[in-house]
Structure 1
Amino acid sequence: MINFFGISNFKSLVDFQVSLPKFTVLIGLNGAGKTTILQAFDFLSQVMSGRLDEWLISRGWDKADIASKFAPTSNIAFVATNRQENDNFNKLWYGSFNRKELACLYEMATCWNDEQGEEELLLLKGRQYRISNSEMTPIAFSYQGSILSQLRDTELSSELKSIRDTLRNIRSLELLSPHLMRQRTRDSATSIGIGGEKLSAYLHAIKGGDKQHLLELLRTFYPRVIDFKSSPTKGGWKRLSIIEDFDGKHVESEVRHINDGLLRVLAMLAQTLDGDAMLLFDEVENGVNPEIVEKLVNLLVNAKQQILVTTHNPMILNYLEDDVARESVLFVYKTPEGFTRVRPFFSLPGVGEKLDLMGPGEAFVDTDLVALTATCVELDKQAQAAEDVDEKAKKAPAPRKATA
């Protein structure tokens, strides 16, 4: 699980940082940067996977599109910490990504705990790298993203593999599109794709108990569904169809005739079978009937995966328990300089108290988000002023002792 994420010089994210629980909901005004935060997590995953050029092409972006217009430097700096269940060590990965070379030219990874202190796992600097305490080795190969994307498993410690695999397994589903989910696909797939374009191939690989579990989940939303089939056709293309029961008559329909809501729910449920992934959903309620939103929210809150969603719909928050809402709902806002920032929504002045009288969604509706943004900006100024005072105090000369 990713506990903390920081990034600077990625679009509107300048000196951005956020602590993450297992389930997180991002709320805020349009244009505050909610989707940009999801994109930054996807960027982090692609850096660790080493496929930056493919990623930029798939999004229709150029190198210049990912850099901030508010920072003087072109490099993108980032840091992430993670800790797995039953693991005594916290792990940190820091890097500086060069946009021109699409590669990290500086990387550092460490692990630590209270008993044993901190240990270096990886250092990349000046076209050389080392694993743990080995000698620095010149880099004799080209790579994109992180050098960890190119090193063999046999070269990596279990801690480095944990960092690499956690970040590789971030699955961004922010562009889920019924049009893309209806496409036939040819290649095998380890995820449904950023827009759901690989759904038929991904479902084709689900067999046995996993398929039955997925069908049971799907029937809690759509009771008529009894099966789905992803059948190979000529040329290796895979065709997806849904089988439904109408008064004992089984009707099979190709996916191009299936409603958008069923497709979105099927895609989200299918991806929750990947137990090691972190899942990102943008406006999770889109295209889904209000009658089944509560079931969907409960499923995501209780999923095995770490999940990050955005929403504009107060109904989503109303289906959260108060203690879950206090921890998981984060308010995203922009400063006057154009920087995206985030704060826990129910810890802000005048907001948390509302949970004593109303539900989380009602508290959201009852809050003026424009005024709340101004409050957050003022809190930022106060925090910065306090930091400046601390810095001056550290630099101030020690008072001389009085002489007799």
Structure 2
Amino acid sequence: MLRSLHLRDFKAFADQSIPLSPMTALIGANGAGKSTVLQALGLFRALTSQTVAQYLETEEWDFDDLPHLRTQSKSFEIAARVELNGASADWSLVLRNGKPPGIEAETVRRFAAGSLVGGTGEAILDRHGDLIERLDESSGESEEIRLALPMSVMGSVDPEDLLSPAHPTLRALRRWADGIRPYLFLDPRKMRTSSRGATDDIGTSGDDLASFVHHLRRNREVGFQSLLRRVQRYYPRLSDIETSQRGPGWTTLEVRERWGESEATFNARQVSDGLLRLIAIAAFHELPRPPSLILLDEFENGLHPHLVGAVVEMLQELVDSSDGRTQVVFTTHSPLTLNHIRDGSQVLVVHRRPEEGTAMVTPLDETRGFDELRNAFDLGELWYNVGEEQLLSPEGEDV
């Protein structure tokens, strides 16, 4: 599980450590930097399979837009502390502009269980330019390699090579990175379209939802019935979720609903945005390879207020049932969403330092007067009624 993220000179963040819970909600004004946190987390997955240049092209970004503009830096760093089988590891990537842009440095340090905060840990990987030093954990000896890699060293690690005892920490980190799922925008328009082929995922925008449900129903009936019951709990009119084949291999989604004594079937074009999103999020529970980290951006868009709580409950159930294997980080602008969050420590306020505009992160339960206010308000009511300016103002200072 990801315990913390550190950003240095990345977009609006100058030097910020961000604590993360099994389920974390990011709140704040437009432009505060919430989506930047999701983008940084997505980089760990992307750079195990893509070069920096390929990633920039995919995202339609220019590297010059990524380093913190107020520092005039040509590089930035993202670092994650990940809990791995009782121990933990710090994985850091420093990206720098160039021709082409690439990874300037990469380090992995392992910390035994119970290590003191602030310790240096054991160096597992140390990369500077094309010089890579890697520790063989079975023998305790280090090897040096000169290799010009256009992506993370993790891209060269086989996560399933269980026969070799040399690099268990790197394998575990690679598996964690591979398990990151950036469902940043579950797009109802794409969920309504046909998809084809067997798939073990719904697609980053939900574009493979129809194929996933079709494959699940044909091959794992128990999993399909679990998905159906999960949606029915919050949408009781739903009788069934069906798929139909149109053309060679193309699959479309249909739903059957009860209306009085009769039933009606609706094709995906007729299904509401909210129900499609509910089905997609219920499908997370049935993914054959549980994600390590699910990233969602404002999932409440298009949802009836009644269904917002349903989605939060589904996500919390997913986290609770995973025994630490799956984590969720999402952004929201909805006070109603926060009302369904268990604890203030799960909510991070992303805001800007007034003097220079640098992005900062403050846990909601560490804001001004939180303990007293929490006795009177649900989390969303507290955020909406008191306001960020008051919550983030120094003690003794009125706003």
**Category of TM-score, reference length = shorter chain:** 0.7 to 0.9
Change over 3 Å in CA distance of 1:67–1:201 after alignment to 2: farther
Change (3 A) 1:310 1:204: same
Q: Paired residue for 2:171, among 151, 156, 161?
A: 161
Partner of 1:126: 129
1:351 to 370, 373, 383: 370
Superposed CA deviations along residues 69-111 of structure 1, whole A, max 9, x for unmatched, are 2232222211101114xx2211111121234445323211121
Give the TM-score taking structure 2 as reference length: 0.83
> CA distance change for structure 1 residues 120 and 184 in 2, over 3 Å: closer, same or farther?
same
Aligned partner of 1:25 in structure 2 is 25
**Which residue number in structure 2 is paired with residue 366 of structure 1?**
385
**1:313 correspondence with 2:334:** yes
1:147 alignment counterpart: 153
Larger Cα Rg: Structure 1 or Structure 2? 1
Q: CA deviation at 1:373?
A: 4.5
Unaligned runs of 5+ residues in structure 1 are 379-404
Q: 3-state DSSP class of the match of 1:171?
A: strand
Aligned to 2:94: 96
Aligned to 2:358: 339
Shift of 1:149: 1.2
Q: Distance in 1 between matches of 2:129 and 2:96?
A: 13
Question: Aligned pairs, how many?
Answer: 370
Contact 2:227 2:285 in 1 (8 A): no
Q: Say which is worse superposed, 256-265 or 43-52, in terms of deviation.
A: 43-52
How far has the Cα of 1:165 moved from its partner?
A: 1.6
Q: Do the aligned partners of 1:180 and 1:196 also contact (CA within 8 Å) in 2?
A: yes
Are the equivalent residues in 2 in contact too, given 1:27–1:330 (CA < 8 A)? Answer: yes
2:230 to 205, 217, 229: 217
Between stretches 310-319 and 110-119, larger displacement belongs to 110-119
Residue 343 of structure 1 deviates from its aligned partner by: 0.5
Q: Write the mapping of 1:285-304 to structure 2, written as runs, cut at 5 A.
A: 285-304=300-319
**More helix per residue: 1 or 2?**
1
Shift of 1:189: 4.3
Distance 1:268 1:99, change over 3 A: farther
**2:357 counterpart SS class:** coil
- Which letter does structure 1 place at the counterpart of 2:62? D
Which digits, 9 at most, give the CA deviation of each residue in 1:340-385, with x for residues without a partner?
Answer: 1101112112233201222222211221323445549x9xxxxxxx
- 1:131–1:227 CA distance, 2 compared to 1 (3 A): farther
Deviations 1:308-349 (A, max 9, x none): 1222222222223xxx32211111101232221101112112
Among 195, 203, 212, the alignment partner of 2:205 is 195
Range 157-166 or range 326-335, more displaced:
157-166
Q: Secondary structure at the match of 1:14?
A: strand
Which residue in 2 is equivalent to 1:238? 251
Contact 1:243 1:250 in 2 (8 A): yes
Instruction: Determine whether 1:258 maps to 2:264.
Output: no
Post-superposition offset of 1:263: 0.6
Structure 1 counterpart of 2:194: 184
Q: Counterpart of 1:15?
A: 15
Aligned counterpart for 2:180 among listed residues 148, 166, 170: 170
- Shift of residue 290 of structure 1? 1.4
Kindly provide the amino acid, as one letter, of the partner of residue 368 in structure 2: P
**Aligned-pair distance for 1:64?**
3.4
**Which residue number corresponds to residue 79 of structure 2?**
79
AA of the residue aligned to 1:283: E
Q: Which residue of 1 aligns with 2:4?
A: 4
Displacement of 1:298: 2.0
Give me the CA root mean square deviation: 2.7
Residues 168 and 68 of structure 1, relative CA distance in 2, 3 Å threshold = farther
Equivalent residue number for residue 138 of structure 2: none
- AA aligned to 1:71 is T
Provide the TM-score with structure 1 as the length reference.
Answer: 0.82
How far has the Cα of 1:306 moved from its partner? 1.0
Change (3 A) 1:196 1:115: closer
Does the CA contact (< 8 Å) of 2:158 and 2:171 recur in 1? Answer: no
**SS of the counterpart of 2:90?**
strand
- Distance in 1 between residues matched to 2:194 and 2:54, nearest whole Å: 20
Where does the alignment leave 5 or more consecutive residues of structure 2 unmatched?
136-140, 320-325
Greater per-residue strand proportion: 2
Give % identity. Answer: 26
Determine if the alignment matches structure 1 residue 276 to structure 2 residue 291: yes
Give the letter for the 2:336 counterpart: M
SS of 1:302 mapped into structure 2: helix
